[in-house]
Amino acid sequence: MQFNPYLQFDGHCTEAFAFYAQLFGGTIVHQSHFGDMPAQSGMPALSEAARNRIMHLQVGSQALMGSDAMPGADASCGDGYQQPQGLWVSIQAAGVTESQRLFDGLARGSRAVMPFAATFWSPGFGMVRDRFGTPWMVNVPMPA
């Protein structure tokens, strides 16, 4: 079993994933737009703005995936964009130096929720909501 975070954005998915690919050293392996979908009966026409939004994007073999929300979507299509609540995407990096680099990158242009520092469970831990609204926890595992 494998769990893969799927992040949603309000029109900023392309920009966010270009940033994540650079920060995490990943490669965008797939990208498609809502405008690439074949027409289906009963489906309303897409606005030009909706056609250019990202329908699916994947970075790297660990599959950080995401999309833009469909503007004006109803409950059958995810209710449109809502800022993430009640979850954090957790990253475990190999050491304090790499974790600090990731934390600082995610915090650039944003705000730290909990500054990166040593805790009783980790030599380095911090929480940040990045400039795209995604909540992250960066953690260094305790040495064995």
Residue 138, CA atoms < 13 Å, CB-side half-sphere: 30
Q: What is the pLDDT of residue 64?
A: 83
**Which domains occur in the chain, in start order?**
6-71 (3.30.720.100), 89-139 (3.30.720.110)
How far is 4 from 32, CA to CA, in rounded Å?
18
How far is 36 from 46, CA to CA, in rounded Å?
11
Given a cut of 50, whether residue 75 has pLDDT beyond it is no
Using 50, 70 and 90 to split pLDDT, how confident is the model at 27? confident
How far is 112 from 47, CA to CA, in rounded Å?
36
- Interval 55-67: pLDDT, tens: 555 665 677 888 8
